[in-house]
Amino acid sequence: MKTSKASMFNSIFSITLVSSLFLTACGGGSAFNETSGSLNDTEQLVEQPGNNDSSNETTDSANDAIVGLSNEEIAGLLFMREEEELARDLYLDIYEAKDARLNTFKNISDNAETQHAEAIRVLLERYGIEDPSTGSRNTYTDPELQDLYNQLLNIAVGSDDLAALRVGALVEETDIRDINTHKSRVSTQHQDIITTYDNLLCGSRNHLRAFAGQIERITGQAYVTQVAELDAEVQSILDGDRERCGQN
């Protein structure tokens, strides 16, 4: 978790600088224009849970098959619960601060990230793990996530729309890396957790495509990966089509 935070901090410091340099070169001002087609992206963001959504796997037979979790598996669920809440809260706050210009943030927050946080909560309840959520918007039990939320919000609302979109893309890149890390530590006995992580990954890939597409329309340049270690994966994601998460 500390590694995740440090890596994200290394990325966020460049966001405002990069966007400011671009806008200066192009004549300044906010370059976001919803008539460019970006609203169509928001229609593609909500991944349906489908029949594979682990939040629906609550049958007696599934419960009977539950095996105790390792400390690493528990830590992963606790962290991802609040990281998904962070994304949900951050995106809604950015949308509100930007005078409702960036509908992408609201759509992702209201639909996808809310579902993601709830899917993790269901797993915590299923395995008898205390929910770390404070139950209050914009507050987190993990002090590092709280610090991260504060910094990302300050960058997004204190600068132009391009910087805000880059914050959104950075959150999705980091989410992809963190989910993959925690998924790799899950025993194959716990397919419900693996399935949930897979659904979250699918959603994050779609969200990244939406943010990157808007960034590219503003800058006229190919999206540049912000978490360097993910460059190959991010480029592969952006080369691919939008996915139907949780659906066959």
* pLDDT value for 25: 36
In a domain, 79, yes or no: yes
Domain of 185, in residue numbers: 2-28+42-239
Place of tokens 């992702």: 108
Check which CATH number belongs to the domain holding 21 and give it. Answer: 1.20.1260.10
> CA end-to-end span of the chain, whole Å?
33
Tell me the helices (H) and strands (E) count for the chain, helix number first.
Answer: 11, 0
In a domain, 244, yes or no: no
In a domain, 246, yes or no: no
* pLDDT value for 113: 85
Closest CA to 31 of 128, 133, 166: 166
Task: Give me 70's structure tokens.
Answer: 């390792």
In a domain, 34, yes or no: no
* pLDDT value for 66: 55
Task: Give me 222's structure tokens.
Answer: 């190919």
In a domain, 35, yes or no: no
In a domain, 98, yes or no: yes
* pLDDT value for 11: 57
* pLDDT value for 102: 87
* pLDDT value for 101: 76
DSSP letter for 113, please.
Answer: I
The pTM for the full model equals: 0.77
* pLDDT value for 4: 53
- Give the mean pLDDT per block of 10 residues along the chain (248 residues): 50 48 37 32 41 43 61 97 96 89 87 90 97 96 97 94 96 97 97 97 96 96 97 97 83
* pLDDT value for 26: 38
In a domain, 235, yes or no: yes
* pLDDT value for 62: 43
* pLDDT value for 218: 94
| Number of separate domains in the chain | 1
In a domain, 248, yes or no: no
164 vs 84: CA distance, rounded Å: 18
* pLDDT value for 64: 40
Task: Give me 86's structure tokens.
Answer: 């962070």
